[in-house]
């Protein structure tokens, strides 16, 4: 009986934690939607996706590690500043990750919402 109650307690704790995280992220998503920002993902947890479903333009899901969540908003990262060519100077690991995230975010934009023509390259690419 003690084992059963322990298991039920753990399951209720995890479900409560997931609900709390989802409620918090819903605040982010509802505010974004209110201001007309496209949200492509609403996920509770981190890591591998355990379950997801697409409703309209948004994919809702649960990931393996229930220690947070996120809402992916198109245009969340500002465009990179124009930089002079640094030649052989290498980017730091953090800067390279930020540039990769900017490029991926840029690719989510439809051609009509990008600045410039529909065939323009992402900022910072040659």
CA 33 to chain centre: 15
Residue 48: its H or E element? strand 39-55
**Cβ burial, residue 71 (10 Å; 0-12/13-18/19+):** buried
Residue of 25, 59, 99, 108 marked active site: 25
Ordered DSSP codes for 74-114: TT-SPPPPP----TTPPPPHHHHHHHHHHHHHHHHS-TTTS
Q: Is 108 a catalytic residue?
A: no
Active-site positions read 25
């Amino acid at each position: 009986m003690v084992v059963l109650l322990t298991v039920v307690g753990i399951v209720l704790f995890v479900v409560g934690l997931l609900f709390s995280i989802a409620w918090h992220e819903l605040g982010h998503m509802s505010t974004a939607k209110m201001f007309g920002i496209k949200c492509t993902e609403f996920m509770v947890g981190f890591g591998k996706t355990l379950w997801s479903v697409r409703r309209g333009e948004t994919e809702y899901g649960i990931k393996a590690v229930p220690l947070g969540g996120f809402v992916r908003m198109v245009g969340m990262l500002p465009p990179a500043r124009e930089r002079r060519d640094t030649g052989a100077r290498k980017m730091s690991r953090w800067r390279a990750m930020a540039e990769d995230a900017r490029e991926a975010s840029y690719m989510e934009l439809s051609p009509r919402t990008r600045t410039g023509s529909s065939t323009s390259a992402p900022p910072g690419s040659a």
